[in-house]
């Protein structure tokens, strides 16, 4: 028997993991390489950042997910180079992992449009560490507000600016409003947390731009109702330790705010550039690799890019959005294509089937579009709840998430709002709260 | 109406929080100062370190616990000095918090008997960050073993040395054995995790020294049965990156091991020394403050020390052990004493009522002593389970912990075994696994 066809998948996110799982019965040897030992359910990351869920609730150990799949192995490691000539992935520790087919699915990072220095003041939300750092900032702001005697400082500490009106920004702003008005109620003695201002800043003329304009309007209504100030057509031009400068209709203004959260730009993960350079592939402005209609890279039928890292623009020109659905369907498609090739069969090009979009804003408040259906309010919220619980990878997570959501539903309490950080452990005997800020 | 009597409690652990809660109906103004925004259920910290529970499952936000107690407020801050003359606590940010009665309950840290340099190689377990750092080490060791081709290195990576045969050491060693033999089964392709060696090193002649010798024997039996090598009368004389040197019966030996976990010494938290110096109080070798029979400090009836930070040795000379029961009973006693004094009543001195000890080793394996009752095996395990679930502060935690334990019971899966760390987020584009080790 010849050695099985070697499929190496870089990245255990939605696209990579789906591809690996769809190859379970194929006569191939699958290797999944990831820098982390877990698959992360990124759409719920904002719930970790706002203290509603624990990191482990939205993560599943990759080894555990793939333990029964005998043709798959997991390598914890970071891919740093691709040698397309000898067909091998170089890991940071120097090891080479040879492949016959390579699937690159390393996703995206948040991006500051050339202002990387803003990151220190306006953290983004892509990893568990991003989420716990954001959580620390949010809850420390209330703590510091309780402690300060300075009125202006207190106001800045109780002002939260969320940059970017996409789903992440909308969901973060909604959660912040609920934290201020409900979770924190009765918990402070010097401040009224409900006085906190939550400002959602969006450069475009409406939030949730990819959605139907009616739903954008519904989202603004819902956000406004729970206390979020929505400012569209407003551009952030500077982010500092003590606030943001925004410009709107030609006028520039400073918003004093100690907490700025970034939900705006995304950019392809650095491996995209490495892949593109090593095989002279084309990339777009965001660093995404241009792919063929079958998700492979031009001139390299054995290399596929799926998910956020790929620019797939064959259905009318606009690239497919960076959402889990696209990644999973592409991962599926590539797995089917690999099987077809081994059988000597042909497969039609990849076609994205849009199953819809949904974003939640708060209790009973969400917007959703599925096909020609537009939902908002209660019904959209129930649909969101149902689908997100169903989609969690493991049964145990579903139970844990449901218990916590049910508890939140009745009590508004966010049990996972721990202010933690490595500073605390390293400087235990002298750990200062200022350090953790 | 005069201003209410001001009670300042430093530390929101078992002793401090219990004292605050026991003052709920007293005509006092309670201030709880803590460096963290949560109460931590330390007895289950080893379950976070071994990936069975998430940090938030064993933590309760202090504000949330005390939100309905109108006479209590919470300050997030670090006490750095006590001025007993003007009766005020100085916080790191410069603020002074005046008190009429002061309760110091800042607990203990792990301690390396003058070898603080060992901490880098043998982390201890007192905080959430300690636990997630330990978790990272444990699960990274298996990952690195899967990757290495070097036989000796692989053996060292699969050798886990737990230093200290107290409850923490016994529980850690038992959990490690279950991880290697059950949780990790079928998850690796190059190594057999069940081949991992877990070595529990204890300097004394038996594990669980405060327990009845019969139970120490039962614990060793249980540990041995699930694959732990127990080495009593064995002293650690050096800890390095690549192993430990131990001496036993005059012979010295090196155990190559990449993972060494510290469950041995504890030492009073640094505030103990600060308090002692500021009021010229006596401390013992571990830095604990000697207290009077009513838990106050000699010459300062308005200053109380409770819990691990106190050396209470009035019932026969031996200081009371550093366990949650002692801290809670002392916290209760001090609250009652404060109320009595305000009423002009007397109170008999503090007496510790020993409710028993228990330690769990693995599934169906535990030891417990309550009064003259000695339990081991199934029954002790059920008792342990029941009591620990009951003692968790919040109802929601109980449900979450029970769900996860039930799931572990049937699947052996440890869902919270995430390898995370700040390194990963800061160096995202170049995050190396070596960094997180």
What DSSP line would sit under B64-108, residue for residue? HHHTT-TTEEEEE--EEEEETTTTEEEETTS-EEE-SEEEE---E
C-alpha distances out from residue B341 to B26, B101, B205, Å: 11, 11, 46
The CATH-assigned architecture of domain A111-266+356-422 is: 3-Layer(bba) Sandwich (3.50)
Express each pLDDT in A270-304 by its tens digit: 998 899 998 999 999 999 999 999 999 999 999 99
Chain mean pLDDT for chain B: 91
CB contact under 8 A, A415 and B434: no
Distance from CA of B21 to the nearest CA of A (A): 15
Domain ranges in chain A with CATH number 3.50.50.100? 111-266+356-422
CB contact under 8 A, A429 and B394: no
Residue A385 is encoded by which pair of tokens?
A: 């709840």
Q: How far apart are CA B356 and CA B312, in angstroms?
A: 18
Report the alpha-carbon angle B303-B305-B308, nearest 5. 170
DSSP per residue over A51-100, as a string?
Answer: TSS-GGGGEEEHHHHHTT-TTEEEEE--EEEEETTTTEEEETTS-EEE-S
Least confident of A31-45, A102-116, B382-396: B382-396
Strands B28-34 and B5-10: parallel
Q: Give the full edge-to-edge strand order of the sheet including A243-248.
A: A234-240, A243-248, A251-256
Query: Is the pLDDT assigned to residue A394 strictly greater than 90?
Result: no
Between residues B309 and A395, which one has the greater pLDDT? B309
Residue A159 is encoded by which pair of tokens?
A: 């002002």
Domain ranges in chain B with CATH number 3.50.50.60? 5-35+77-107+269-343
Q: Which residue has the tokens 């698959």?
A: A39
Active site residue A282: no
Least confident of A35-39, A203-207, A265-269: A265-269
Contacts of A420 in chain B (CB under 8 A): 36, 55, 128-129, 132
Catalytic residue among A117, A129, A153, A171: A171
Give the nearest partner residue to A418 out of B68, B78, B128, using CB atoms: B128
Contacts of A96 in chain B (CB under 8 A): none
Contacts of A411 in chain B (CB under 8 A): 396
Q: How far apart are CA A82 and CA A411, in angstroms?
A: 51
CB contact under 8 A, B422 and A146: no
Distance from CA of B273 to the nearest CA of A (A): 12
C-alpha distances out from residue A415 to A186, B177, B392, Å: 16, 31, 13
Q: How far apart are CA A339 and CA A12, in angstroms?
A: 20
Q: How far apart are CA B161 and CA B231, in angstroms?
A: 10
Question: Mean per-residue pLDDT for A65-73?
Answer: 95
Express each pLDDT in A119-173 by its tens digit: 999 999 999 999 999 999 999 999 999 999 999 999 999 999 999 999 999 999 9
Distance from CA of A302 to the nearest CA of B (A): 25
Residue A30 is encoded by which pair of tokens?
A: 């699958």
User: A287 has which bridge partners?
Assistant: none
Q: Give the full edge-to-edge strand order of the sheet including A357-362.
A: A357-362, A365-370, A373-376
Express each pLDDT in B57-93 by its tens digit: 999 999 999 999 999 999 999 999 999 999 999 999 9
Q: How far apart are CA B307 and CA B288, in angstroms?
A: 10
CB atoms within 10 A of CB A250: 5
Residue A386 φ/ψ, nearest 5 degrees = -60, -50
Q: How far apart are CA A80 and CA A195, in angstroms?
A: 48
CB contact under 8 A, B63 and A419: no
Contacts of B400 in chain A (CB under 8 A): 400, 403-404, 415
Query: Is the pLDDT assigned to residue B228 strictly greater than 70?
Result: yes
**CB under 8 Å to B94, separation ≥6 — which residues?**
none
Q: What is the pLDDT of residue B391?
A: 82
Alpha carbon B170 to its chain's center:
13
Question: Mean per-residue pLDDT for B86-113?
Answer: 95
Residue B128 is encoded by which pair of tokens?
A: 């959430």
**CB under 8 Å to A263, separation ≥6 — which residues?**
A110, A124, A125, A162, A163, A164, A165, A166, A168, A169, A172
The rounded percent of chain B whose pLDDT value lies above 70 is 96
Which of A10, A32, A39, A64 is most worth mutating to test chain B (most B CB atoms within 10 A of its CB)?
Answer: A64
Between residues B346 and B406, which one has the greater pLDDT? B346
User: B363 has which bridge partners?
Assistant: none
Distance from CA of B344 to the nearest CA of A (A): 30
Q: How far apart are CA B278 and CA B298, in angstroms?
A: 13
Q: Which residue has the tokens 């535990």?
A: B366
Question: Mean per-residue pLDDT for B111-140?
Answer: 93
> How many CA atoms lie less than 13 Å away from B48 in the CB half-sphere?
25
Contacts of A428 in chain B (CB under 8 A): 109, 126-127
**CB under 8 Å to A334, separation ≥6 — which residues?**
A19, A103, A295, A304, A306
CB contact under 8 A, B433 and A93: yes
Report how far apart the first and last C-alpha atoms of chain B are (Å, whole number).
59
Give the nearest partner residue to A418 out of B37, B186, B190, using CB atoms: B37
**Domain B5-35+77-107+269-343, what fold?**
FAD/NAD(P)-binding domain (3.50.50)
Distance from CA of A409 to the nearest CA of B (A): 12
Query: Is the pLDDT assigned to residue A397 strictly greater than 80?
Result: no
Q: How far apart are CA A200 and CA A294, in angstroms?
A: 38
CB contact under 8 A, A434 and B55: no
Catalytic residue among B78, B143, B171, B277: B171
What pTM was computed for the model?
0.91
CB contact under 8 A, B133 and A54: no
Express each pLDDT in B167-208 by its tens digit: 999 999 999 999 999 999 899 999 999 999 999 999 999 999
Question: Mean per-residue pLDDT for B149-170?
Answer: 96
Give the nearest partner residue to B127 out of A127, A129, A428, using CB atoms: A428
> How many CA atoms lie less than 13 Å away from B253 in the CB half-sphere?
11
Q: How far apart are CA A80 and CA A97, in angstroms?
A: 11
Query: Is the pLDDT assigned to residue A429 strictly greater than 50?
Result: no
CB contact under 8 A, B429 and A269: yes
Q: How far apart are CA B295 and CA B350, in angstroms?
A: 7
């Amino acid at each position: 028997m010849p050695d099985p066809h070697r499929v190496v998948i870089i990245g255990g996110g939605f696209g990579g993991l789906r591809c690996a799982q769809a190859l379970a019965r194929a006569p191939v040897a699958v290797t999944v390489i990831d820098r982390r030992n877990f698959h992360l359910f990124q759409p719920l990351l904002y719930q970790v950042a706002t203290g509603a869920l624990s990191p482990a609730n939205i993560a599943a150990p990759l080894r555990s997910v793939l333990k029964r799949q005998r043709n798959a192995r997991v390598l914890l490691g970071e891919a740093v180079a691709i040698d397309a000539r000898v067909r091998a992935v170089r890991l940071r520790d120097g090891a080479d992992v040879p492949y016959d087919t390579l699937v690159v699915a390393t996703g995206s990072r948040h991006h500051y449009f050339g202002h990387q220095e803003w990151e220190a003041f306006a953290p983004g939300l892509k990893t568990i560490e991003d989420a716990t750092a954001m959580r620390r900032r949010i809850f420390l702001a209330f703590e510091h507000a309780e402690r300060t005697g300075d009125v202006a400082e207190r106001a800045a500490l109780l002002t939260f600016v969320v940059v970017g009106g996409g789903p992440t920004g909308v969901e973060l702003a909604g959660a912040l409003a609920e934290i201020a008005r409900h979770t924190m109620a009765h918990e402070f003695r010097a401040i009224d947390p409900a006085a906190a201002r939550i400002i959602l800043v969006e450069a475009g003329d409406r939030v949730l731009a990819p959605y139907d304009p009616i739903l954008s309007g519904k989202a603004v209504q819902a956000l406004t109702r729970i206390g979020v100030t929505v400012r569209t057509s407003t551009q952030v031009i500077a982010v500092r330790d003590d606030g943001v400068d925004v410009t709107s209709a030609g006028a520039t203004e400073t918003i004093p705010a100690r907490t700025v959260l970034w939900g705006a730009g995304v950019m392809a993960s650095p491996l995209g550039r490495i892949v593109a350079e090593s095989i002279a592939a084309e990339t777009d402005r965001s660093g995404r690799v241009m792919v063929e209609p079958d998700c492979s890279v031009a001139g390299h039928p054995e290399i596929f890019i799926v998910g956020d890292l790929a620019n797939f623009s064959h259905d009318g020109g606009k690239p497919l959005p960076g959402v889990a659905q696209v990644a999973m369907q592409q991962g599926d498609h590539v797995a089917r294509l690999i099987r077809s090739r081994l059988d000597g069969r042909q497969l039609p090009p990849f076609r994205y089937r849009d199953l819809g979009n949904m974003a939640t804003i708060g209790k009973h408040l969400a917007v959703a579009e599925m096909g020609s259906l537009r939902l908002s309010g209660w019904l959209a919220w129930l649909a969101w709840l149902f689908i997100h619980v169903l989609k969690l990878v493991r049964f145990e997570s579903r139970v844990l998430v449901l218990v916590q959501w049910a508890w939140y539903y009745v009590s508004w309490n966010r049990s996972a709002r721990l202010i933690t950080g490595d500073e605390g452990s390293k400087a235990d005997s002298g750990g200062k709260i200022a350090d953790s800020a």
